[in-house]
Homo-oligomer: A and B are copies of this chain.
Amino acid sequence: MPPREPEPDPVEWVRERWEEQGLPEAGRFAAAASLMRAHAVAIQGFEAALRPHGISRTAYLVLVTLQLSPGGARRLSYLSRYLMVHQTTITQLVDQFEQRGLVTRQPHPTDRRTTLAVLTKDGRALVKRATKDAAAAGFGLDGLSDDEVSALTGSLRDVRRATGDLPE
């Protein structure tokens, strides 16, 4: 029985075909494909850690943002901009949080248009538990050395700079 042919890395497979057929920007396509795959697998581990707590990734990020904010409070519009998700998503998430008693809506003291999302005691407890589990899963990046984590963050900063995600 012949040794099983080693199945190639999908990214390298596509890069070779891409070049063979003379398509443009092979390196950039391979990088984009890598980014999508790496994101997909990392997200998978991340969300698996959150699932037992009954919250999605975006929901977790909202709660963490509140946790790290002064008084556990932020305007809904801030959350939308900061996390790069649609305003509607924030409205719906805060609805769910309120029903579960994790967050309360409070009027802004001076601007009557805006409402604040404020983390409750229960919300703070939940985000603490979820963070423990997510950290144990390395936030989807388990298995990388500290050096690799640093290099990754640096390369991704290049991407974010090039696409205007970094201030200045």
Q: Point out residues on A near B: beta carbons under 8 Å.
A: 6-11, 14, 17-18, 21, 23-25, 27-32, 34-46, 57, 64-65, 67-68, 82, 84, 131-132, 135, 138-144, 146, 148-168
How many angstroms between the C-alpha atoms of A21 and B28 in the bound complex?
39
The complex is assembled from copies of this chain, and their number is: 2
Interface contact A29-B135, CB-CB below 8 Å: yes
Q: Is the CB of B141 within 8 A of A159?
A: yes
Contacts A24-B131, A158-B144, A163-B41; A152 near B31 (Cβ below 8 A): yes
Which B residue's beta carbon lies closest to that of A146? B27
In the assembly, what is the distance between CA of A149 and CA of B27, in Å? 7
Q: A141: which B residues are within 8 A, CB to CB?
A: 28, 31-32, 35, 159, 162-163
